[in-house]
Structure 1
Amino acid sequence: MAAPTPAEDRAALRQLVENWAIWRDAGDWDRFATVWHPVDGWMTATWFQGPAADFIAVSREGFDRGVSILHFLGGHSADVVGDRAITQTKMTINQRAEVDGVLVDVVCTGRFYDFCARHDGDWTIVRRQPIYEKDRLDVVDPGASLTLDPELLGRFPAGYRHLAYLQTKAGFTVKAGLPGLTGPVVRRLYDEGARWLAGSATAGDPHAEE
C-alpha cells in the first residue's frame, strides 16, 4: 500500500478534529473514544486535566446530567513530520448554564492545539491543549440582569475568565494559567510542539501549566 500523500494526511487530520467535535457534542462516546491515542491520550480543559479515558467518562456523566457545552470549528492548519503532527484549529466553546439564577451563554474563542500521532495507520490525538484567546458572557433573556463578582472574575486570565466564572459557579474546579493568545505559557506550548515534531519522547508536559 502506498504511503499517504501530504494532502491525504492533512485531510485525515482535519477529519480527526471534526470527528472530535461532532462525536463529543452528540454524545457518541464509542466513536469519540477512537479519536484518541489508546495509550497516551491526554486532555486539558479549563475544568479537566487528565487521561482521555477519564475525560470521556466525566464528559458522558455531564452530558447525561444536561451540561450544555458545544464546540464549533473554523480554520485549520497541520504541520506533519512522518508519523507525527501538530494541528491548530480555530474554535469556539459555547456553554449555557445558570449563574446566580440567571440563564447565560458564554462563548470562548481560541484554538485547539493538538499533538497527533499515527497509530495502526490512523491519526490519533495524543494531547489536546486549547488556547483561550477571548470570551464573553451574555444573558439569554435580554430583559434579565446579572452583576458579576469582580474578584472572582479577576482570578482568571482574560482569555477565558467568563467561562471560568460560569464553570466555577456551576461547581467545577477551574485551572488558572492556561495558555492565551500571547505570553510565556503559550510560547512554552509552541516549543513543546516543535520538540514533538523533532522526535521528543513525550507530547510536552501537560502538567506544567501554572
Structure 2
Amino acid sequence: MSTSREDGLALRELVDNWVLWRDAGDWERFATAWDPIDGWMTATWFQGPATEFIAASRSGFESGVRILHFLGGHTSDVVDDRAIAQTKMTIDQRAEVDGVEVDVVCAGRFYDFCARVDNEWKIVRRQPIYEKDRLDVVDPAARLELDPELLGRFPAGYRHLGYLQTKAGFTVRTGLPGLTGYVVERLYEEGEKWLAGSATAGDPHAGGAS
C-alpha cells in the first residue's frame, strides 16, 4: 500500500474541490466529485445517494441554510485504483436556536472511499468522523438555555451540531463515528477491506439510528 505524489495531490484536490464547490453552490462541478453510479453521502442530517445529497444541499442553500467547511491536514492510502483519504475538517453552521443566533463548530475528519474512474479520482462514499464540537452565541449579550434531554440524544462528537439541526427541523442520525469506539473501528475495517478489493465501500447503512 502506497501513495504516489501524483495520486496524493489528485486526492487532495478532489477533497478541496468538494468543499469549495459545495459551499459556493457550484452544483454542476460539485456533482463531478462523486462516483457517478455508486456515490454515497452520510452526514448528521442526510444519508443517501450523492445525487440526492446534491439536490438536498442545493435546496437548503437556496432557502438560506449555511453549512460551511474548512479543511486541515490530509493523508491518503492508495492500492491500484482505490484509495482511502482522510482529511481534517471543521463543519461550521449558523442558525437560530429558540430565537437566538448561534454558531456551531464541529471538528473531525472526512473519511473518503475513493476510486479511479476514467483516470480521475472520485468519491464513492464519504463518512465524516465527528470528534468534538461547541456552540457559541453570536451576540455575547444573548442568553440561551439548552434542553439537556435533547442535547443528551447525540454523541459528544456532534452533540451541539445535532441539537442545532434538530431545532432547525432536520432529522439527525445518532451513533455516527467519533474519535474512538466500535463504530469508528468498524469504519477503519471497512476502509481496509475496500483497499483489499471488497465489492462495496463498506455498509453505510450500518451503525447509528435515524
TM-score range, shorter chain: over 0.9
| C-alpha displacement of 1:209 | 1.6
| C-alpha displacement of 1:57 | 0.1
CA distance in structure 2 between the partners assigned to 1:47 and 1:176 by the alignment? 10
Deviation readout 1:100-128 (Å, 9 max, x if unpaired):
00000000000000000000010000000
Does residue 1:192 correspond to 2:184, yes or no?
no
Query: Within 5 Å, which residues of 2 pair with 1:121-136?
Result: 121-136=119-134
Structure 2: gaps spanning 5 or more residues: none
The corresponding residue for 1:43 is 41
The corresponding residue for 2:106 is 108
CA distance in structure 1 between the partners assigned to 2:110 and 2:68 by the alignment? 14
Query: Within 5 Å, which residues of 2 pair with 1:78-93?
Result: 78-93=76-91
Amino acid at match of 1:127: R
Out of 169, 172, 178, the residue aligned to residue 171 of structure 1 is: 169
Out of 131, 135, 149, the residue aligned to residue 147 of structure 2 is: 149
Amino acid at match of 2:6: E
The corresponding residue for 2:61 is 63
The corresponding residue for 1:25 is 23
Query: Within 5 Å, which residues of 2 pair with 1:197-208?
Result: 197-208=195-206
Deviation readout 1:66-114 (Å, 9 max, x if unpaired):
1010000000000000000000000000000000000000000000000
**1:159 aligns to what SS in structure 2?**
helix
The corresponding residue for 2:75 is 77
Does residue 1:138 correspond to 2:136, yes or no?
yes
**2:205 aligns to what SS in structure 1?**
coil
CA distance in structure 2 between the partners assigned to 1:27 and 1:71 by the alignment? 13
CA distance in structure 2 between the partners assigned to 1:103 and 1:15 by the alignment? 34
**2:183 aligns to what SS in structure 1?**
helix
**1:192 aligns to what SS in structure 2?**
helix
Structure 1: gaps spanning 5 or more residues: none
Root-mean-square deviation (Å):
0.6
| C-alpha displacement of 1:48 | 0.1
> Where do 4+ consecutive residues of structure 1 move more than 4 Å?
none
Instruction: Give % identity.
Output: 79
CA distance in structure 2 between the partners assigned to 1:166 and 1:20 by the alignment? 24
CA distance in structure 2 between the partners assigned to 1:78 and 1:162 by the alignment? 29
